[in-house]
């Protein structure tokens, strides 16, 4: 029995390089439920982060009562982390689930039936279509729906309505990942594999607090670093995370660049590769374009200059570059510290540049994992509910647009392709003016997650835009809607989703949704029916009724594209789980890593984009792209460092950055309803360095006011291991409170909402908003009544032990019992190079 709140990564199972990660099955059952009492286990995968761990759902008496890892799953080899164990099921039976549709009457949301709610939606939709046309419609979806739901929504938007105004909250978390892939390799798609962890001799983590965001993946790394021949870890993060500690332990490097200076650091590392001859010239000449331009761009970023810009030691830059330059096989992982920061795409592309210069891509151990935040973000990008065209097609390529028009049997002019798709921040701006008068938000909570939240609240509550929200609960966003639709969640519907390393899982329906809640697929189908969308021959546009039929339709949309699902079916996904695309005749069992042959999808007629200028976001034209004759070669692209949009000033002398804690996911819609997780991280806080705290007379647990030019929050302070001059705030906390008596309620204030302070600015290429480079001030308000409500287990651990007993943080612990069973015989995993070697 293990308390996995305190023991986040579980017991170590160390092993040598080139051997298979041992299997261990982690399991959680609700208090009082014995394993023998479980009626059945239903195949699925965890939906609480992008890792996508294979999991079975325990069902008893028609309720979900627990989960266990799937030992044979290629992603997690049976393991689950705290969120997966404690957070997967409690929300489902929470008493505040939405069970009936709501409509706004006289300023209040009141319960109604489906016919009335859908009738109101369709009435507004048809009227606006007639009066203003399809550009009056916008859709803002999620990273948590299923593939079949995204594809259906994409067809409704692109072929039914013909609006380019579609995006997902993936814009906030993974847009830079997709953009960086497209710029370097010509199309989206994760090149690397998790099996690279078993084969590498160095791991670089860029702005990626993996121990808290993807705990099972970090356990996989720990099982290498605690083995006989550990890879060295290099950590790029302004906080002293567990990654930083592991870097120190393995003889690697912790680089803590000033917030907003990532690109300067990356240029410095790139320059060192050139300066020391750590470049595979022959491979680079055969497989890339742009090496001389890149050499010139980074030439001035000496370690000394980088040290001045970034506030790191010049020697640490040299050491990190040497580790990259002299390792046989480097694995790089990237996340929000790069994606949500200044010059996001340029910095993420720079990671690709390092790998391309070393010829380290497509080989075991030499991988890039541009991570995702949310579990099904990848599907949103693939299916086109984020605005891209389905199947990684290029909106600027008429042949690609025609392929879709043929597939859907609609006029090619219906499919939006006259300009780039509208990104989420722009959608909100159009909604603010009423240019978008119909906004449908599904499974996401922008009132908490989008930057400058006071602005977002004003947009969503205004009369200028009719807003539909479909979700599990009355979220901070749903409260502002005109119509609220109750949705079925994970385990209450069937569908597929694809994790960050292209691995596809089938998640089967385990129980019935509560009350009148319906699956998102059924809701979208009902809207399409009511709107009467037809193809050119007058037949219904959407020809599928079930999730399996939707999957089969999607499969055809991927034929001939990099994201090829043609070899997959529900039957194939049942049983041994975790199959990475492309899956087709050539690769019937899937594909562990892309680009093993050094050929990239950059051909002008095939690529997903012609590319952009990384500084301005200006587009490369088809003619310019064709003139470069990429012919399967990857692009080496660079850009100079520029200072962030908002630098510290006399009034706001500190740098504000938001992030995550291990115990909460996104805006806590699910994890906030898990007693175990919520006790571990119940309320918001900010982290401030001991030096900055002393300068302001702030002690552990004091109430402080954190203010930026856009707003202020009042929370308690954790004196923690952030770098001097930086302030960290977790972004999860809106004004919903898990009041025990009624299963949740709402506080009036937004005093703890981290995004009150962030800016409405975005990266010029990926259009991902910047959450990590605002200027702020922190002032002490009053004594706290104890320590800050921050966990002690991860990067939020207190920096000081010499605090008054009353303020001393108690160790974070107290999770319900889980079991962990180490398997003596490791299952056989498809596509595991270690097993192939043996
Ligand atoms: S690592 Fe992610 S997918 Fe795996 S159990 Fe934890 S939250 Fe779920």
231 with 250: CB under 8 angstroms? yes
pLDDT at position 805 = 86
Check pLDDT > 90 for residue 67: yes
Ligand 1 centroid – CA 675 distance (Å)? 18
Mutate which of 216, 372, 373, 500 to test ligand 1's pocket (most atoms within 8 Å of Cβ)?
216
pLDDT at position 224 = 98
Where is average pLDDT lowest: 58-72, 148-162, 381-395, 734-748? 734-748
Once rounded to an integer, what is the mean pLDDT over residues 393-406? 98
pLDDT at position 130 = 98
Ligand 1 centroid – CA 138 distance (Å)? 31
pLDDT at position 837 = 58
150 φ, ψ (degrees, to nearest 5): -60, -45
pLDDT at position 139 = 98
Once rounded to an integer, what is the mean pLDDT over residues 697-721? 96
Mutate which of 21, 214, 369 to test ligand 1's pocket (most atoms within 8 Å of Cβ)?
214
Average per-residue pLDDT for the chain: 96
295 with 234: CB under 8 angstroms? no
Check pLDDT > 90 for residue 431: yes
Q: Is the CB of 812 under 6 A from ligand 1?
A: no
Once rounded to an integer, what is the mean pLDDT over residues 828-837? 80
Q: In angstroms, rounded to a whole number, what is the distance separating the alpha carbons of residues 830 and 77?
A: 12
Ligand 1 centroid – CA 217 distance (Å)? 8
Once rounded to an integer, what is the mean pLDDT over residues 370-399? 95
The pLDDT tens digits for 336-350 are 999 999 999 999 999
Q: Is the CB of 53 under 6 A from ligand 1?
A: yes
Q: Is the CB of 507 under 6 A from ligand 1?
A: no
Atom nearest to 87 CA in ligand 1 = 7
Q: What percent of the chain has pLDDT over 70?
A: 99
pLDDT at position 748 = 67
Atom nearest to 83 CA in ligand 1 = 7
Q: Which of 20, 191, 13 is nearest to 829 (CA)?
A: 20
Length of the chain, please? 838
pLDDT at position 742 = 60
pLDDT at position 559 = 97
**Helices 215-225, 242-249: inter-axial angle, 10-degree rounding:** 10
Ligand 1 centroid – CA 666 distance (Å)? 13
Q: Is the CB of 216 under 6 A from ligand 1?
A: yes
Residue 831's pLDDT band (boundaries 50, 70, 90)?
Answer: confident
Check pLDDT > 70 for residue 101: yes
Q: Decide: pTM greater than 0.85.
A: yes
Per DSSP (E only), the strands in 462-501 are 466-471, 483-486, 495-498
Ligand 1 centroid – CA 210 distance (Å)? 11
Q: Is the CB of 214 under 6 A from ligand 1?
A: yes
Nearest CA to ligand 1 atom 2: 49
Once rounded to an integer, what is the mean pLDDT over residues 588-609? 97
Ligand 1 centroid – CA 255 distance (Å)? 27
Ligand 1 centroid – CA 661 distance (Å)? 13
Ligand 1 centroid – CA 54 distance (Å)? 9
Once rounded to an integer, what is the mean pLDDT over residues 234-250? 96
pLDDT at position 733 = 95
Nearest CA to ligand 1 atom 8: 84
Q: In angstroms, rounded to a whole number, what is the distance separating the alpha carbons of residues 331 and 203?
A: 5
Q: In angstroms, rounded to a whole number, what is the distance separating the alpha carbons of residues 560 and 273?
A: 37
Check pLDDT > 60 for residue 740: no
pLDDT at position 835 = 80
Atom nearest to 499 CA in ligand 1 = 3
Once rounded to an integer, what is the mean pLDDT over residues 268-283? 98
Residue 713's pLDDT band (boundaries 50, 70, 90)?
Answer: very high
Q: What percent of the chain has pLDDT over 90?
A: 93
Residue 836's pLDDT band (boundaries 50, 70, 90)?
Answer: low
Per DSSP (E only), the strands in 231-323 are 232-236, 253-255, 288-289
The first and second tokens of residue 816, run together, are: 């319900």
Atom nearest to 216 CA in ligand 1 = 1
The pLDDT tens digits for 1-32 are 889 999 999 999 999 999 999 999 999 999 99
Residue 736's pLDDT band (boundaries 50, 70, 90)?
Answer: confident
Ligand 1 centroid – CA 598 distance (Å)? 32
Where is average pLDDT lowest: 205-209, 398-402, 403-407, 749-753? 749-753
Mutate which of 80, 86, 374, 664 to test ligand 1's pocket (most atoms within 8 Å of Cβ)?
80
Ligand 1 centroid – CA 223 distance (Å)? 17
Q: In angstroms, rounded to a whole number, what is the distance separating the alpha carbons of residues 337 and 673?
A: 27
CA dihedral 419, 421, 425, 428 (to 10 degrees): 90
Distance of CA 838 to the CA centre of its chain: 35
pLDDT at position 312 = 98
Once rounded to an integer, what is the mean pLDDT over residues 320-327? 98
pLDDT at position 576 = 79
Nearest CA to ligand 1 atom 6: 81
Atom nearest to 375 CA in ligand 1 = 3
Ligand 1 centroid – CA 639 distance (Å)? 35
Once rounded to an integer, what is the mean pLDDT over residues 787-794? 95
Secondary structure in 3-state letters for 22-76: CCEEEEEECCCCCHHHCCEEEEEECCCCCCCCEEEEEEECCEEEEEEECCCCCCC
Mutate which of 10, 56, 81 to test ligand 1's pocket (most atoms within 8 Å of Cβ)?
81
Atom nearest to 51 CA in ligand 1 = 3
Q: Is the CB of 681 under 6 A from ligand 1?
A: no
Atom nearest to 76 CA in ligand 1 = 4
Check pLDDT > 80 for residue 743: no
């Amino acid at each position: 029995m293990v308390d996995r709140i305190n023991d986040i990564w579980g017991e170590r199972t160390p092993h040598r390089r080139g051997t298979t990660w041992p299997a261990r099955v982690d399991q959680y059952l609700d208090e009082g439920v014995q394993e023998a009492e479980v009626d059945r286990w239903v195949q699925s995968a965890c939906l609480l982060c992008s890792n996508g761990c294979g999991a079975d759902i325990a069902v008893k008496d028609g309720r979900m009562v627990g989960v266990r890892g799937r030992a044979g799953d290629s992603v997690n080899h049976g393991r689950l982390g705290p969120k997966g164990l404690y957070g997967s099921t409690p929300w489902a039976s929470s008493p505040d689930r939405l069970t009936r549709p709501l409509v706004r009457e006289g300023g209040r949301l009141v319960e109604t039936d489906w016919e009335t709610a859908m009738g109101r939606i369709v009435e507004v939709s048809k009227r606006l279509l007639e009066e203003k046309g399809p550009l009056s419609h916008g859709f803002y979806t999620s990273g948590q729906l299923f593939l079949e739901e995204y594809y259906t929504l994409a067809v409704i938007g692109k072929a039914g309505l013909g609006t380019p105004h579609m995006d997902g909250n993936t814009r906030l978390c993974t847009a830079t990942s997709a953009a960086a892939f497209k710029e370097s390799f010509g199309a989206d798609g994760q090149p690397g594999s998790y099996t690279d962890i078993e084969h590498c001799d160095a791991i670089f983590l860029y702005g990626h607090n993996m121990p808290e965001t993807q705990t099972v993946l970090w356990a996989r790394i720990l099982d290498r670093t605690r083995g006989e021949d550990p890879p060295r870890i290099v950590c790029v993060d302004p906080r002293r995370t567990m990654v930083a500690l592991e870097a120190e332990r393995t003889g690697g490097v912790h680089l803590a660049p000033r917030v907003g200076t990532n690109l300067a650091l990356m240029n410095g590392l790139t320059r060192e590769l050139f300066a020391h001859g750590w470049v595979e010239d022959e491979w680079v000449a055969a497989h890339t374009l742009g090496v001389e331009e890149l050499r010139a761009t980074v030439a001035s970023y000496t370690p000394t200059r980088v040290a001045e810009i970034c506030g790191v030691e010049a020697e640490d830059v040299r050491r990190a570059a040497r580790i990259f330059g002299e390792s046989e096989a480097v694995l790089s992982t990237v996340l929000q510290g790069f994606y949500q920061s200044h010059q996001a795409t340029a910095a993420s592309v720079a990671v690709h540049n390092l790998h391309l210069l070393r010829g380290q891509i497509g080989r075991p151990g030499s991988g890039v994992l541009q991570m995702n935040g949310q579990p099904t973000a990848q599907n949103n990008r693939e299916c086109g509910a984020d605005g891209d065209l389905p199947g990684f097609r290029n909106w600027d390529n008429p042949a690609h647009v025609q392929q879709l028009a043929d597939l859907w049997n609609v006029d090619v002019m219906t499919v939006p392709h006259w300009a780039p798709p509208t990104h989420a921040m722009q959608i909100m701006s159009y909604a603010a003016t009423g240019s978008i008068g119909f906004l449908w938000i599904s499974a996401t909570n922008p009132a908490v997650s989008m930057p400058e939240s006071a602005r977002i609240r004003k947009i969503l509550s205004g009369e200028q835009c009719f807003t539909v929200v479909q979700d599990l609960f009355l979220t901070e966003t749903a409260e502002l809607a005109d119509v609220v639709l109750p949705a079925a969640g994970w385990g209450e519907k069937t569908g597929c989703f694809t994790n960050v390393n292209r691995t596809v899982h089938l998640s089967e329906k385990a129980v019935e949704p509560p009350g009148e809640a319906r699956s998102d697929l059924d809701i979208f189908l009902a809207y399409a029916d009511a709107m009467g969308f037809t193809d050119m021959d007058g037949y219904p546009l959407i020809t599928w009724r079930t999730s399996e039929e939707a999957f089969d339709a999607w499969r055809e949309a991927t034929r001939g594209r990099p994201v090829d699902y043609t070899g997959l079916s529900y039957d194939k996904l049942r049983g041994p789980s975790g199959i990475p695309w492309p899956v087709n005749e050539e690769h019937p069992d899937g594909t562990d890593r892309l680009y093993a042959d050094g050929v990239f999808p950059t051909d002008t007629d095939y690529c997903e984009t012609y590319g952009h200028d990384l500084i301005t976001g200006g587009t490369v034209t088809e003619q310019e792209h064709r003139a470069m004759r990429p012919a399967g070669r990857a692009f080496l692209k660079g850009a100079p460092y520029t200072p962030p949009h908002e630098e510290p000033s006399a009034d706001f002398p500190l740098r504000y950055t938001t992030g995550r804690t291990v115990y909460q996911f996104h805006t806590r819609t699910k994890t906030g309803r898990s007693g175990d997780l919520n006790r571990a991280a119940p309320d918001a806080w900010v982290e401030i360095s001991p030096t900055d705290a002393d300068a302001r007379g702030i002690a552990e647990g004091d109430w402080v006011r954190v203010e930026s030019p856009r707003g202020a929050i009042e929370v308690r302070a954790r004196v923690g291991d952030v770098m001097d001059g930086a302030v960290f705030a977790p972004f999860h906390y809106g004004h919903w409170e898990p009041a025990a008596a009624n299963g949740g309620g709402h506080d009036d204030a937004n005093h703890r909402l981290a995004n009150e302070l962030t800016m409405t600015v975005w990266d010029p290429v990926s259009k991902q908003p910047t959450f990590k480079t605002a200027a702020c001030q922190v002032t002490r308000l009053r004594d706290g009544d104890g320590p800050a409500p921050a966990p002690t287990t991860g990067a939020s651990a207190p920096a000081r032990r010499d605090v008054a007993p009353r303020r001393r943080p108690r160790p974070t612990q107290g999770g319900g019992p889980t079991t962990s069973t180490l398997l003596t015989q490791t299952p056989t995993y498809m596509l595991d190079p270690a097993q192939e070697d043996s």
